[in-house]
Amino acid sequence: MGFVAAVPSPPLGRVVARIWDHESDAPLAFGLERVLPTPAAGLIVNLAEDSTRAWFRDVQGEWQCEHRAGGLFCGAQSRGVAIDTQEQQRVMGVVFQPGAAADLIQRAPQVARIAAVARTLGISERRLGELFREQVGMAPKRYARIARFRRLVENTDRRRPIAWAEVAVDAGLHDQAHLVHEFRAFAGVTPGAWAAHAGPHDSHVPL
């Protein structure tokens, strides 16, 4: 079956941005992938087993596994997380629409516009930062960077030759060096390395 995604129409579409499903007919070989950070909250359900797994390196640099429930709610993420490919046998999920302030940033995720968002909401930039960290779990400027990065990833077709300088300009970045910096910060690899691993999931990078 592979990977499929659907965008619901209203009224569900007002709170749900996307519903996705991934199913593999053949057993999957073990491997680790980094899932890129996302500014959107979501729900992930492992339909094959009542478990999800996250991997991290301990102080010795060895990979360790953390077991979690088969159904998992994820808030906005400021860092990527490592998962294993075997748990992606049958998985589905829901991506939720952002809240009010987050929605304004999603529409124009330039870091310089945070002050404008605060003015639109009728509060100070400092108060916006306090409320945003309380409700979303990160500062609005970092959220804006992640929203911009995810939009860049979703709008870049890895199956075709990529003019990275043009991609950087279209994304509102200063230059190609700025683009490389954002990829290293959020994907852990260069843009070229990310593009070389084209697969069904734009947000997954093999480790």
Q: Which residue, among 81, 75, 185, 74, has the nearest Cα to 134 in the 3D structure?
A: 75
β-partners of residue 32 are 84
Length of the chain: 207
Q: Where are the alpha helices (DSSP H) in the chain?
A: 100-107, 114-121, 125-136, 140-154, 164-170, 176-186, 191-196
Evaluate whether 22 touches 3 at the Cβ level (below 8 Å).
yes
pTM of the model: 0.79
Q: What is the pLDDT of residues 154-197, one digit of tens each?
A: 888 888 889 999 999 988 898 999 999 999 999 989 999 998 88
At 55 the pLDDT is 92
Is residue 79 over pLDDT 90?
no
Mean pLDDT, all residues of the chain: 87
Please give the C-alpha separations between residue 20 and each of 13, 38, 42, 84, 93, in angstroms, as whole numbers.
Answer: 14, 15, 11, 18, 5
Provide φ and ψ at 191, rounded to 5°: -55, -40
Q: Which residue, among 144, 142, 151, has the nearest Cα to 78 in the 3D structure?
A: 142
Top-confidence residue, 202 or 169? 169
Residue type for 165, please?
Answer: A
At 107 the pLDDT is 64
Tokens at 101, concatenated: 């302030």
Name the 3-class secondary structure at 70: coil
At 1 the pLDDT is 65
Top-confidence residue, 106 or 117? 117
Evaluate whether 64 touches 58 at the Cβ level (below 8 Å).
yes
pLDDT grade for 87, boundaries at 50, 70 and 90 = confident
Name the 3-class secondary structure at 127: helix
Tokens at 145, concatenated: 């960077």
At 179 the pLDDT is 94
Q: What is the pLDDT of residues 116-134, one digit of tens each?
A: 888 888 899 999 999 989 8
Instruction: Set out the domains of the chain in order of their start, with CATH numbers.
Output: 2-96 (2.60.120), 100-187 (1.10.10.60)
Provide φ and ψ at 162, rounded to 5°: -115, 125
Mean pLDDT of 89-103: 83
